[in-house]
Amino acid sequence: MSPIISLLAAGAVLSLAAAAPAAAGEPAERPGFTPCADAGALPALGDTQCAQLAVPLDHGAPETGTIDLFVRKFPARGAATGELWLIAGGPGESGASFYPYIDRLRAAAPGFDLIVPDHRGTGLSTRLCPSEESADSAGGMALEGAEWGSCIGALHADPQRTLAFTIGNAARDVSLLMDRHGGDMRRHLYGVSYGTQLILRTLAVAPPERLDGVILDSLVPADDDLRHDLSRRSQVTDAVGRQVLRDCDERPDCSRYFDQPLDEALAALLADPELSEPLGPKPKYLLAALIDFPRTRAMLPFIIAGLHRGDTAWLEHAQAELGRVQQTFAAFPQFGSSIPLVSLISRSENNRRAELTEEMIESEEAGLLFASPLPRHLLPGGFPTYEAPADLGRLPERIPPTLVLHAKRDPKTAFAGAAALAERLDAAGDIELAASDTAAHYVLMTDPDFAIAQLRDFIAR
């Protein structure tokens, strides 16, 4: 990244980055927010302002150097009355996962500046493999071909740097960003999925100087919740998928296409290689993707009925819809998940079954109708891991007023896990769980009317 002009503050090395013209969206040298270099690239980015902050690579050892964090601000329409800081999921997703929904957030938080960091290792912040995860590399910000080997080699060659990309260090980044780039107005913090874990770690180990409220969208289970950790994602997904099928069974307008319960119809389909062939080599993974979004979820009974007749029209329609969802995000070059960061954090801090093997995964998937590929990413492999940190599992002693947005049919972060964690957090402060009957994962995306109404009421208090 760029040369850094260092400042010493509060016992830690802080600096504003001097970023010479580089990748699209990266700001030039600046003391704070100024118009983004890519402001004219897309209408959604037209009035955005960007900034960078250099923070310690390792907050526990600031002498090890610094990394750069990128932040984009969508200014309020008219005079600003507050700030809503938006923390993306992943752990490999950049802040661009919020960009398609800025209008929804403006409707939910009128008068608020929307401030969106790329947490360490993602987007335009310093990446784990800067050469390979560059807009100018062969695969762009994703790894491609030989970049996998060179990236993994670089991670092992500099373990001190690699093993500093922890949730704990990212949590301390959030506080520094808010305290350095925040204003004096009301301030709320909103996280999605992994972003909720990152926010709770922030509140536990390094809370910002001021915070008026927190919104946790699709709350991940507690770090010590052994029933809902990432190694059991397929079981969580399958439970929701089967509930979706039972929902159809209970509606005559849906179940009239079948002479048996829908789960039995799907099991029979999966047992017949010829009928299930259009679903691809991993049909349970595609079925899981279909229940990720309300529109494709609603198509599932028609897909099953059609495939039993050898008709793929509904399946093709659903796959086209999944493609449209992907294109919503792909319009922003900064979007995309950092697989090295996903692997590093997930295997080091979010896998409660270190003994997990491919044979165990195969055995568990055999009894499921829906399955997630994520547990396979937890298997030992080329990417390094770090020892579980001391702050793993620590919950905040105090929380500001907090709203949890969650879907009862969330196939990624189990509703039962979210409800259990919300109950535990109740001792730390006021917390409210608002549950959507129709959303899937990421309530702002999958049930916007519900999310906007809940957010608007919460922020206005």
Compute the distance between CA of residue 55 and CA of residue 118 in angstroms, rounded to an integer.
13
Compute the distance between CA of residue 303 and CA of residue 67 in angstroms, rounded to an integer.
48
Query: What pLDDT is stored for residue 31 in this prediction?
Result: 52
Tell me which residue of 65, 84, 64 sits closest to 74, measured CA to CA: 84
Query: What pLDDT is stored for residue 28 in this prediction?
Result: 36
The residue extents of the domains of the chain are 4-225+397-459
Compute the distance between CA of residue 97 and CA of residue 194 in angstroms, rounded to an integer.
12
Query: What pLDDT is stored for residue 396 in this prediction?
Result: 95
Query: What pLDDT is stored for residue 15 in this prediction?
Result: 29
In this structure, which amino acid lies at residue 189?
L
Fold of 4-225+397-459: Rossmann fold (3.40.50)
Query: What pLDDT is stored for residue 170 in this prediction?
Result: 97
Per-residue pLDDT of the chain (461 residues), as tens digits, is: 222 222 222 223 222 233 333 333 433 333 589 999 998 888 899 999 999 999 999 999 999 999 999 999 999 999 999 999 999 998 999 999 999 999 999 999 999 999 999 999 999 999 999 989 888 887 778 888 998 899 999 999 999 999 999 999 999 999 999 998 888 899 999 999 999 999 999 999 999 999 999 999 999 999 888 889 899 999 999 999 999 999 999 999 999 989 999 999 999 999 999 999 999 999 999 999 999 999 999 999 999 999 999 999 999 999 999 999 999 888 888 888 899 999 999 999 988 888 899 999 999 999 999 999 999 988 877 888 898 888 888 999 999 999 999 999 999 999 999 999 999 999 999 999 999 999 999 999 999 999 999 999 999 98
Using a cut of 0.85, tell me whether the model's pTM lies above it: yes
Compute the distance between CA of residue 177 and CA of residue 155 in angstroms, rounded to an integer.
26
